[in-house]
Chain A
């Protein structure tokens, strides 16, 4: 008996340990959760996931700008440009280039996929579907990310279910073209066009609703790429109408001139919108961290500006073609009701973007103050705040103009540039109305007036004179007029949104609409300006649309 007792003392631990093996080896941690424990069943849980996704979007922000801008005509390389960026500028990226890796884009997509597969949109608090808004946000982020992927790399692997196993990562996924991606996401986003987006209050001093990609704008972009201009125009207009965003929210103006009519100062609420992003002009931005301890810090400032970190050697220079375009603008302002004065300073948005270039030579900081022997100091203020801007009022208006013009409404499109105004839509129909209220009131001035003075008064900035029945007038067919306005829109894109990462795609859309790949090739090949010969190699390469995309194995 005694022996049996002793024996059982030793046997009990054995038998105990046979029980429930699987549970015993499920270890948990307070520092991570697993698929089983990460539930997205309440708004409190999903907030963290959405913020996590926004953190992932930070990782691709710089790259979307670099690919959208460096390949186009408004910038060029300099002696400090690193090889990887140099390759992008030359439109020929080798496989060893750090930017060919599209892993970070799929990190955004996979996290979105996980959220969309798991989030329970039916959860209601006080009768309100609290998760639905976030759900729409995540859908829009995923669509935008796929759009960026397709614009950069052409055909890309496509999947919409989360990859949580390494075996799933090894599978072959179908490759979708830009057009297939747009088709998919138009259908995917349409049901959420009117969903109200959430707000998490102020994060790091910025209204968090600016972190989200409006479904209507992503939809409109997709329609624009699909050349469905009516729908594109409608959703742009609808968004602008919903938020009562007019054309002239911000502008840059000459502040003072000297007796020789040289500009000595300017005022630029236009650039302030970039520096302090809590304003109407900024619709969506990718908020970047101030230090790398808080997330991803944008490196664009180090690319476009002279900084301590790049030893004052900015790596990308505005191109001669960009400078010439700015210089060519006719800055006009009214001295009095009758007299319009023209200055030779060009579009002031240039000076607003590059304030240190504008400072007269005798007032420039000394070399010692810059701790460098390099006198060529540039500060591109579009990157001063360290954020990356995705949708701005000015660019959305220009896209609306592009869509309207392509529909044939070139006069409405031109009115957006010259006269300005606001737009109203009615319900869910495709009808909308462009109104030019109170001409001259700054808020409603045209986009061109954001940097070229009182364009609405400037007769030099106008459509061709169509009065009379001269031979010249008769050759102005509707198509030629559309092209004419489109050229103005493309120039206005450059003046308004240079360096923000959309230039290459703006040119791409026009080339596609006109069915003329050389349109894009010609623009880029002439980036070194009228005085320099065109880059024939680049021209030849970009004349083939398949070279518009970065090769990826």
Chain B
């Protein structure tokens, strides 16, 4: 009874104002902010009520009667940015030319989101590079490598998972894009970035949703990136042609030893191998010696492996329409060479977006996209496990190869030939697997369509009819089918590559491998919406259903010893055959209800509830509700905003404060991105001897498995002021993630090792600020500048099995309660023992695997002893670095003079540590790898004061172990892009515009980091942040382009 009365009152409140609408009269003047001149023909509209509109006269004056309930007006004029203004402060409105970036959007955001659009002058191969340049405080980005299109690792709102995927969900035109995180590839160091399947030129807008993501249910916890592709907006036929070409220069490498320095180093190292061999060909200095030429070169290997890489990128799009349909057809082709040879990328893409009117009330979206990426590929970066295979990455080999060798052979007469040299042999026999491949041979003999190639084809078809039912009711459904096919071939030639003894397997002479994968995705979403507006009230309600079904299958084969380099095919006759694959299928279904309400565009409330189930959940998940025999997670959200500037008491502050809005919100969302079968007990096959297959228990599932839950509180302020010169936005959040998907050890008696469970929790607190200032605006000049800055603090609050460490690239990452995720855990060092007496006085020692002691001596690293025990062991490890930055973001500025525009974007990260794994290889002083010139300072004699320990083969004292020697400050400030563009003064019937532009990318980077690039990401996992394995660094590049509007 009480309830009924409540609803009656609500309805009455909603209805009453529309019955009796008093009018208010608005008068004002619209002028140009740049010149102060009145703007005639500017359109003034009551926000949300298009029927109430007026135009300014030639004196810029307007008069408009609007209902009393209207609190906000929109003012727009051709060639100017739209402005929103509270009715109480509309007497003088200044508009800025649209050469400045837009600051108001038609939809007033209640949640924390930010968009970037206009990618017309972008030379980026993949949109995530644009996100890094322009939304770098809203998304924390780390460029994966300089490989074209490899994209960036993205993290939002801190770190919201430890073991499951922590990257944001990407939604393309309303359809979820599964990014195939963690899927297998054949080439080391390669990441198949599926975002590179979307042509940047086809993208209209990218929006980053930092909160209010509960709509996305179990996939919203890491934030959401919404990508909208271009659609036709008018019936006029418009053709846009875009062409660009450029060159990228090879990145600067590390400062390596020259031939004589390395010869000295290598001969010294031989002394520590304990060998009895005395004759080494490379040490013979007699020029008449037969092998003299072979071992007396001054080779800069990088010269044979890198080049200036050309890029060409062409796009054409045709937009238009008629009474029946609007369309946007675009075709793009990119051919992007890589500075590291044999890693070129090309893409051919086609996209056809249409909006078809099927009747007065029914229309449909019908989109088709097809994309084909092709890459030449080789391994990249320093391998994590040197025992698994011989080193195959040409870039890394270029670092480690001896400079006294040459990539090509000398003939008997001492002349250089064009035949590639075989694997090196100067240190052969000193230890197992101590010879390295000729990277030029890997490039030469690994080159063919069926050898080292990767192709990704991407097809998507979407149909989305929308029906207008009248009375504000609409029904809409979307059905999408996506197909992603990946094929990859890998071939390690035998020419120039050493025979490699694989531990526990045997001798590999060469290797062929192939991988094919296919993902089919069905996505369907049906929703019914109701819009209601009356007087001061505006209400939108949507009820929807989303269903997804995905199948990912892959198959990998590998075999060794093909006999020669002309037959890279897999055959039954190959040795050490190995096959693998996956067949994952998963489904999800979500019901949701969202609503937003505002009162006079001054008070906003937005709420939503999503109920989702997926096949990844266990049947007996602990939380959620049970319905229809399955468990559903519930994800509510509630956001509120108050546009203070619409209040009467604020009108006096205009134009110092043009618009001020406070936001506050709470939302819950989930993350279920783990193994599709983790909730189930499974049996899998395993190989037994060489020709039998057995089936055993593979994993004990967790029938209570569920999603990770992130509860996020957020608040923010959006302000425009100083006559709209200042655009400021500040956001704060604090989030709590519980039910962390964690591998938990099973009791030994189960016979199995781990199961996925929901235990452990972490929290994040963070803030981001974006400020944009219009500094100069005159008839000829404009100058706009701003910055964005973000920070977060991540803290693990509980773990099911206590603290643990993860070994990655020979380093240890600690996951501990009270600490942030991803921190480096190892030894502290304090220089090098200069004298034996000093070492003896310290009295520290290692305990060997046999239990005996080995004392540190002169020339060894001084490891800081953290306990009273003189043994340097696990108990002396401490936290030595944190890969999480203190602050990151962008700095941007635009300067315009007449038709000329200069646009610059910088990115920075401050306070993050990097584990320089590459430098560890090049300064270990323990292998026959070429070393950096730092090793010229190595300890060689008693009493020598230095920071580099002695060179000892095999590093018996562990001087190169994971320690703060390899942890560096990864802070940087990088000029990501400078673009100078000029709009030619053309305006004819057949040509509406012509812009020429010149872009420089990565022109400079300020950093103390010793590696090639402080930005590097070996994987997307939270725990492997900040590891630099020496993947291809980005070089400087220059692009020229031309954009033509017909």
Question: Using a CB–CB distance below 8 Å, which chain A residues touch chain B?
Answer: 3, 6-7, 9-10, 13-14, 17-18, 21-22, 24-35, 38, 48-56, 58, 79-83, 86, 101-111, 114, 157, 159, 163-166, 168-170, 173, 200, 203-204, 287, 289-295, 297, 308-309, 311, 367-368, 371, 373
A29 to B475, CA, bound (A): 36
The yes or no answer to B683 lying at the interface (CB within 8 A) is yes
Tell me the smallest distance from the CB of A430 to a CB of chain B, in Å. 37
- Contact present for B581 and A27 (CB under 8 Å): no
Q: Mark B355-399, 1 if CB is under 8 A from A, else 0.
A: 000000110000000000000000000000000000000000000
- Contact present for A295 and B677 (CB under 8 Å): no
- Contact present for A204 and B752 (CB under 8 Å): no
Q: Mark B679-698, 1 if CB is under 8 A from A, else 0.
A: 01111111111111111111
Tell me the smallest distance from the CB of A337 to a CB of chain B, in Å. 49
- Contact present for A38 and B695 (CB under 8 Å): yes
Q: Mark B464-475, 1 if CB is under 8 A from A, else 0.
A: 010101000001
Other-chain contact of B852, A79, A106, A109, A163 (Cβ < 8 Å)? A79
Also in contact, A109 and B576, with CB within 8 A (given A51-B692, A287-B689): no
- Contact present for B695 and A52 (CB under 8 Å): yes
Other-chain contact of A110, B432, B682, B688, B697 (Cβ < 8 Å)? B697
- Contact present for A166 and B581 (CB under 8 Å): no
Other-chain contact of A21, B628, B702, B752 (Cβ < 8 Å)? B628
The yes or no answer to B244 lying at the interface (CB within 8 A) is no
- Contact present for B749 and A29 (CB under 8 Å): no
Other-chain contact of A25, B545, B615, B689, B692 (Cβ < 8 Å)? B615
Residues of chain A with a CB closer than 8 A to B676's CB:
27, 29
Residues of chain B with a CB closer than 8 A to A83's CB:
849-851
- Contact present for B696 and A55 (CB under 8 Å): yes
The yes or no answer to B810 lying at the interface (CB within 8 A) is no
The yes or no answer to B127 lying at the interface (CB within 8 A) is no
Closest to B699 in A: A32
The yes or no answer to B629 lying at the interface (CB within 8 A) is yes
A294 to B692, CA, bound (A): 9
- Contact present for B628 and A22 (CB under 8 Å): yes
Q: Which of B133-141, B501-509, B831-839, B1032-1040 contacts A (4 or more CB under 8 A)?
A: B501-509
Q: Mark B695-716, 1 if CB is under 8 A from A, else 0.
A: 1111011110000000000000
- Contact present for B751 and A32 (CB under 8 Å): no
The yes or no answer to B753 lying at the interface (CB within 8 A) is yes
The yes or no answer to B577 lying at the interface (CB within 8 A) is yes
Q: Which of B584-592, B915-923, B1021-1029 contacts A (4 or more CB under 8 A)?
A: B584-592
Tell me the smallest distance from the CB of A176 to a CB of chain B, in Å. 12
The yes or no answer to B258 lying at the interface (CB within 8 A) is no
- Contact present for A21 and B627 (CB under 8 Å): yes
Closest to B851 in A: A83
Tell me the smallest distance from the CB of A334 to a CB of chain B, in Å. 44
- Contact present for A21 and B629 (CB under 8 Å): yes
The yes or no answer to B274 lying at the interface (CB within 8 A) is yes
Residues of chain B with a CB closer than 8 A to A308's CB:
432, 501
- Contact present for A34 and B752 (CB under 8 Å): no
Also in contact, A21 and B630, with CB within 8 A (given A26-B615, A29-B677, A163-B750): yes
Residues of chain A with a CB closer than 8 A to B528's CB:
10
Residues of chain B with a CB closer than 8 A to A309's CB:
503-504
Tell me the smallest distance from the CB of B589 to a CB of chain A, in Å. 6
- Contact present for B689 and A289 (CB under 8 Å): yes
- Contact present for A110 and B690 (CB under 8 Å): no
Residues of chain B with a CB closer than 8 A to A82's CB:
849-850
Residues of chain B with a CB closer than 8 A to A22's CB:
628-630
The yes or no answer to B524 lying at the interface (CB within 8 A) is yes
Other-chain contact of A169, B504, B589, B700 (Cβ < 8 Å)? B700
Residues of chain B with a CB closer than 8 A to A166's CB:
700-702, 746, 750, 755, 757
- Contact present for B362 and A6 (CB under 8 Å): yes
The yes or no answer to B276 lying at the interface (CB within 8 A) is yes
A200 to B691, CA, bound (A): 12
Also in contact, A204 and B689, with CB within 8 A (given A82-B850, A166-B700): yes
Tell me the smallest distance from the CB of B571 to a CB of chain A, in Å. 16
Chain B residues 591 to 636 lying within 8 A of chain A, measured CB to CB, are 613-615, 617, 627-630
The yes or no answer to B748 lying at the interface (CB within 8 A) is yes
Also in contact, A294 and B586, with CB within 8 A (given A21-B627, A86-B851, A107-B751): no
Closest to B681 in A: A164
Tell me the smallest distance from the CB of A174 to a CB of chain B, in Å. 11
- Contact present for A292 and B677 (CB under 8 Å): no
Tell me the smallest distance from the CB of B361 to a CB of chain A, in Å. 8
Tell me the smallest distance from the CB of A148 to a CB of chain B, in Å. 14
- Of B614, B617, B751, most buried by chain A (CB within 10 Å of CB) is B751
Tell me the smallest distance from the CB of A26 to a CB of chain B, in Å. 7
Also in contact, A103 and B506, with CB within 8 A (given A367-B276, A373-B274): no
Tell me the smallest distance from the CB of B624 to a CB of chain A, in Å. 13
The yes or no answer to B582 lying at the interface (CB within 8 A) is yes
- Contact present for A32 and B698 (CB under 8 Å): yes
List, sorted by A's number, 10 A–B pairs whose CB atoms are closer than 8 Å: A10-B475, A10-B528, A27-B615, A54-B688, A55-B688, A165-B681, A204-B692, A287-B689, A289-B689, A290-B690
Tell me the smallest distance from the CB of B73 to a CB of chain A, in Å. 36
Tell me the smallest distance from the CB of B460 to a CB of chain A, in Å. 20
Residues of chain A with a CB closer than 8 A to B702's CB:
166
- Contact present for B587 and A27 (CB under 8 Å): yes
The yes or no answer to B985 lying at the interface (CB within 8 A) is no
The yes or no answer to B119 lying at the interface (CB within 8 A) is no
- Contact present for A52 and B694 (CB under 8 Å): yes
- Contact present for A79 and B850 (CB under 8 Å): yes
A287 to B685, CA, bound (A): 18
Tell me the smallest distance from the CB of B841 to a CB of chain A, in Å. 28
A31 to B467, CA, bound (A): 43
- Contact present for A34 and B587 (CB under 8 Å): no
- Contact present for B751 and A106 (CB under 8 Å): yes
- Contact present for B695 and A49 (CB under 8 Å): yes
Other-chain contact of A14, B545, B581, B696, B755 (Cβ < 8 Å)? B545
- Contact present for B687 and A293 (CB under 8 Å): yes
Tell me the smallest distance from the CB of A521 to a CB of chain B, in Å. 23
Other-chain contact of A292, B362, B504, B581, B613 (Cβ < 8 Å)? B504
The yes or no answer to B1005 lying at the interface (CB within 8 A) is no
Tell me the smallest distance from the CB of B530 to a CB of chain A, in Å. 13
- Contact present for B696 and A3 (CB under 8 Å): no
- Contact present for A294 and B749 (CB under 8 Å): no
Residues of chain A with a CB closer than 8 A to B652's CB:
none
Residues of chain B with a CB closer than 8 A to A367's CB:
276
Chain B residues 839 to 879 lying within 8 A of chain A, measured CB to CB, are 849-852
Q: Mark B444-467, 1 if CB is under 8 A from A, else 0.
A: 000000000000000000000101
- Contact present for A7 and B696 (CB under 8 Å): no
Residues of chain B with a CB closer than 8 A to A10's CB:
467, 475-477, 526, 528
- Contact present for B688 and A28 (CB under 8 Å): no
Closest to B686 in A: A55
- Contact present for A170 and B747 (CB under 8 Å): yes
A200 to B702, CA, bound (A): 35
Other-chain contact of B696, A52, A103, A163 (Cβ < 8 Å)? A52
- Contact present for A48 and B693 (CB under 8 Å): yes
- Contact present for A294 and B696 (CB under 8 Å): no
Tell me the smallest distance from the CB of A154 to a CB of chain B, in Å. 15
Residues of chain B with a CB closer than 8 A to A111's CB:
696-697, 751
Give the top 4 A-B pairs by smallest Cβ distance, nearest first: A107-B751, A52-B694, A21-B628, A51-B694
- Contact present for B683 and A291 (CB under 8 Å): no
Also in contact, A30 and B628, with CB within 8 A (given A293-B687, A294-B687, A371-B429): no
The yes or no answer to B583 lying at the interface (CB within 8 A) is yes
Residues of chain B with a CB closer than 8 A to A292's CB:
504-505
Closest to A101 in B: B748
- Contact present for B685 and A48 (CB under 8 Å): yes
Residues of chain B with a CB closer than 8 A to A169's CB:
700, 746-747, 749-750, 752
Residues of chain A with a CB closer than 8 A to B476's CB:
10
A292 to B501, CA, bound (A): 13
Chain B residues 639 to 674 lying within 8 A of chain A, measured CB to CB, are none
- Contact present for B587 and A165 (CB under 8 Å): no
- Of B585, B690, B852, most buried by chain A (CB within 10 Å of CB) is B690
